Amino acid sequence: MKKDVLETIEKHNGSRGCIIAILEEIQDKYNYLPEKALKIISDITGHSLVDIYGVLPEDLGGDRNRAESYANTLEQNSRLFGAMARSRLLPESTDQVSYWEEFMNDKGEGAQSLEELGRAYLFQFDSEHGSHYYQEAIGNDNTKRHLIMHLVRYHLMSSQQDPDQKHEHLVEAENLANSYLNSKPELTAPQKAHTYQMLALIRNIDGDNAGRDEFLEMAASLDPYFSRASGVPSEMLYCPPDEAKVQYSSFFQPF
C-alpha cells in the first residue's frame, strides 16, 4: 500500500493543493480510504489529520470521532497546537476572534497565537486588525514574515470581492509585496520569484499587461520553474538542512 500511496502523491507532485485529487485516486483504488494511507498522505503533504478527518466529507475519509481523538492527543502534548486543532472543529458560527483572545488571555501571547488571531480578524474582513496581529507575529518571530504575502493574497481576493475598493486593495497588495522583497534577511531566489509572480498578478488584475509581463520576466530570470499559483509557500520550505521546525497549517485556509 505504501508504494501505491507514495506513487500517487508523487504523481501530483506532493502538492498541498492537490489533496482532494490524491484522496480520490486512493479511494478509487481501494474503494475506501485506509487509515494507513491517510497517515502517509498527512506525513508527506503536511496536511493535518485533524483537517482530513474533521473537515472532509465522509466519502473522502472524513471521520469526526477520529478528528476529535487527534485533537485530544494534540491538547495533551501542546496547548497551543491543541487549541489550533480544536479551532478547526468548532462550528462555523463560532467567533474565532473571541476564541483566540480568550486563549491568549489564559496562556499568554506567542507568534503562533498572534497569527491565529490575525487570521480570525481577516475572516471577519477586518484587515486593519488582521494586519496588525500578523505584523505582531512577525515581530515576535521573523521566520513568519511570509505572512506579509498572506496579506497580499487577502487583498488580491478582496479586490475581486469588493469592486468599489478594488484599486485600494491592489495598491495595498503591491506595497506589501514590495515590503516583503525588501525584508531582511534577504529572500532566496525562489521566494523573490514567487513575489514577482504575485506582483505580475496584481498588474494583470489592474489591466497593466506591460507591467505584468515585466514582472513575469523578472520571476523567470530568478527561477525558470517558479510557481504561477497564488498560494503562499511557507518559509519552512527554505529551512536549512541542519534546522528543524514545526508547523501546523490547514489547506482550508486561504490566507
Q: Which three cell numbers stand for residue 59?
A: 466519502
Neighbours of 253 (CB within 10 A): 12
CA separation for the pair 64, 69 (Å, rounded): 9
Domains, the chain, ordered by start? 90-140 (no CATH), 145-239 (1.25.40)
Pick from 21, 69, 28, 64: nearest CA to 45: 21
96's CB contacts (< 8 A; 6+ apart) are 87, 90, 116, 119, 120, 123
- Give the model's pLDDT for residue 6: 87
Q: Please return the burial class of 27, using the count of CB atoms within 10 Å of its CB with bins 0-12, 13-18 and 19+.
A: middle
Q: Which three cell numbers stand for residue 13?
A: 507532485
- Give the model's pLDDT for residue 34: 84
* C-alpha dihedral sign at 133, 187, 175, 203: negative
CA separation for the pair 11, 144 (Å, rounded): 30
pTM metric for this prediction: 0.85
178's CB contacts (< 8 A; 6+ apart) are 199
What count of residues does the chain have? 255
Per-residue pLDDT of the chain (255 residues; tens, 9 = 90+): 788 888 888 887 655 557 778 888 888 888 888 888 888 888 877 778 888 888 777 777 788 899 999 999 989 999 998 999 999 899 989 999 999 999 999 988 899 999 999 999 999 999 999 999 999 999 999 989 999 999 999 999 999 999 999 999 999 999 999 999 999 999 999 999 999 999 999 999 999 999 999 999 999 999 998 888 777 876 666 777 787 776 666 666 777
Pick from 140, 170, 165: nearest CA to 153: 170
**HEC assignment per residue over 70-99:** HHHHHHHHCHHHHHHHHHHHCCCCCCHHHH
Pick from 76, 98, 7: nearest CA to 87: 98
